[in-house]
Amino acid sequence: MAADLQAKYQKLAQEYSKLRAQNQVLKKAVVDEQGHGASLKEELKMKDQSVRKLQQEMDSLTFRNQQLAKRVELLQEELVTTEAKGKKNKQKSADSPSQLNQQRQSVFDEDLQNKIEENERLHKQVQEAQEKHRQIETDLRERLVVLERDTMQHHAVVNDLKQKYLDTTEKLQNDKANLEVKSHSLEREAKECRLRTEECQQQLKSIHADLSSRLDQSTSIIQEKVPFNDTRLAEYNTLDVPVHDRRHQLKARDVNGQALAFLRDLVGALLNLHTYTEQRIQIYPIDSATDTISPLNQKFSEYLHENASYVRPLEEGMLHLFESITEETVTILETTVKLKPFSDIFTSYVCFLKKILPYQLKSLEEECEYSLCTANLQARNMELQSDMQKMTAVFEKLQVYISLLALPSTKPEMLLQTNYSVVFTQLAACLHSLHDVMKDISKHYSQKVSLEHELPTITQKLKTTNDCILSSVVALSNVTGKIGTFFSNNLDFFTAPSVYGSKGGMGIIDPLSAECMLENKKKAAAYIKSLRKSCPGSVPYEQALANRRTLLSSTESREGLSQQVQQSQEKIAKLEQEKEHWMLEAQLAKIKLEKENQRITDLESQLKITLTGQMPSVDSIQENGSIPKIEELQLIEKDSKEPVRSTSLVGMLTTSTINSEIPDEESREQLIKSHYMMRVAELTSQLQLADSKTVHFYAECRALAKRLALAEKSRETLSEEIKAANQNIVRLQDELTTTKRSYEDQLSMMSDHLCSMNETLSKQREEIDSLRMGTKGNTKKNRSR
């Protein structure tokens, strides 16, 4: 089998060698054929060109032959005519010899005229040739001047280049000398560095021997003296109190305070958005004041009316979380127990968003079905539908990540410590995506508002509501952007390992053990505080007397304050009685006003009857309950001829009654009602704008005040930290000279420096060699030039 395989292999190798040789021959043949084909193509092109030239010559010759044939035909016709004339002249020649002389003379005259014309044409050609010669001569002289100018410029450029070349050669020679000096100095430094490395190696050997002896000594002491090692078991490690990191705690409290401020702004913006959306549903597309809205929008408005019960607990949950973080605690995910209630509250708000999402989408579809809705407005509504779905999806993602972060405080086995950084980074990315979604919503809603304002049936109330919704959406976009940047800036702090969680041997930290650790920490802090507390000394006799006098004066002042409180309570009771009295007076005044208005209406009705010429009946007078006097009727007649003007805080209304034109009561009431409705609408719009502005300014002032307080606290803490850091720097500088790491760092730095020095030396040597070669080449070129 092996022999057969070898034989087959040899055959295949022979065939392969044959095919390879044939392939090379075929390649050469293909190349030759390609060259031959190219030459044939060129010959074909030349032949085509020659054929075209011959064809053109043939065409020109045939045209010339046609012209000559026509000329011959004309000459033959002239010859026939001349012969016929000659025969006639011969017959007449005997009779008229004088006519022959005249004909000869006319022929000579024609020849002379032809010669004169030919001479004139030749003179004209000579003059034209002379003018052409003069023009060519002037052109050549101008060209000669231009060429001389160009030669001068070229000579100047050549001289400048020569000067630059000389300057560059001198500069290169100077650089060469400087580089040679630098190379000598670097060689000296390299020798010194070699000596230093030898010394450092000797020091390293001595330090290594010292540290090995110390290690042996410490291991022997540990084996002999340490009876119990509690770092072997994770259960014991979790109960140990970690080192108190005050800076970490202050940073955690500061970060949580900033998050609380941002969350308050977010809560305010969400409340405004849901509230003004509910108000818009009541107005558009059907106004609830004039007609009933659809059942879907009614249900949607009912759900939106409950938004405060879902949004406001977010601020309370974050406030409880902020209050749980103090300087004495250890803030990690396992000890932040208040994060779980905040996660539950956020989950309830996300469920609220899911509940209102289908109603919101159906409400937008209902707006699209409205008769005045244009195509552009429908497109904006569809974009808002997709944006609302994206916003709900992003909030669901946020709820998932927040619930994951709340797991270590309740079920630590569900989330490992190695995955904390991944959750925090995904949460930061989710916050940035929320900011992008809110920007899209603000852009699309602003476009929608601008299109709705162009509609003819738009009302002022809808305009103000749209402006309020747009301002709340813009506020949401700004707040989400601030939260995203804040979380990204503090991402290193969130993902940094803590002192408690990064101890060796720790696996999953149980919340109960973390709680026990916090209790042990409190006990330890209380014990150390009790040790530091000094024993109280005895109070001197004079100071005790002074304290007794202050106590007596405080009891007297207490009695005086109690009397003042009683007097103020009596005053409050009197004021309440007066308030009730004046409320009764106001009710009586309202009743009197109603009676007076009734009397005026009765008088107006009687006035109308008198003006129309009909006297009131006895029954109608008895029903009215009052009989007008003649003087009152006369006064009414006088007043009816003058315009009547009624003024109030709401506005001014002027009416005039004429005998011929008297307005009806219904039309007058309708005018008054419309006037009052317009005024009320204007006042409500102004009130809404004022409320929104006050809420916005109040939130900004509150946030600024909190930021100012936090900045002052951070300034104080930073000043204390700077003092502590200066002390630590001094202490660490003293310890730095006696540690192993300093020597190892120095040695590594020296080795790196030596490597860099060797690299720079090699690079500079290469540069020097290249400059030498360049200068040699330049000198050779100069010599050759």
**Angle at CA 396, nearest 5°, toward 392 and 397?**
120
How far are the Cα atoms of 333, 410, 411 from residue 509, in angstroms, in the given order? 10, 10, 10
Cα-based distances in Å from 287 to 147, 292, 326, 331, 490: 91, 7, 53, 53, 48
Average pLDDT, integer, range 354-363: 90
10 Å Cβ neighbour count for 314?
19
Please tell me the distance from the alpha carbon of residue 749 to that of residue 755, in angstroms, as a whole number. 10
Please state, in angstroms and rounded to a whole number, the distance separating the CA atoms of residues 760 and 747: 20
> Tens digits of per-residue pLDDT, 533-547?
666 666 777 887 777
pLDDT at residue 26 is higher than 70: yes
Residue pair 356/304 in contact by the 8 Å Cβ criterion: yes
How far apart, in whole angstroms, are the C-alpha atoms of residue 280 and residue 416? 47
> Whole-angstrom Cα distance, residue 449 to residue 645?
41
Q: Which of 257-266, 484-493, 663-672 has the lowest mean pLDDT?
A: 663-672
Range scoring the smallest mean pLDDT among 266-280, 415-429, 675-689: 675-689
Over range 321-331, report the average pLDDT.
79
Which single residue is written with the structure tokens 């307080």? 709
pLDDT tens-digit profile of 79-123? 778 777 766 665 555 555 666 667 767 777 777 787 788 778 877
Under 8 Å between Cβ of 259 and 331: no
Structure-token pair, residue 471 = 């301002």
96 CB-near residues (< 8 Å, 6+ apart): none
pTM of the model: 0.42
The whole-angstrom distance between residue 115's C-alpha and the CA centroid of its chain comes to: 96
Give residue 645's pLDDT: 41
Q: What percent of the chain has pLDDT over 90?
A: 12
What is the structure's pLDDT at 743?
A: 55
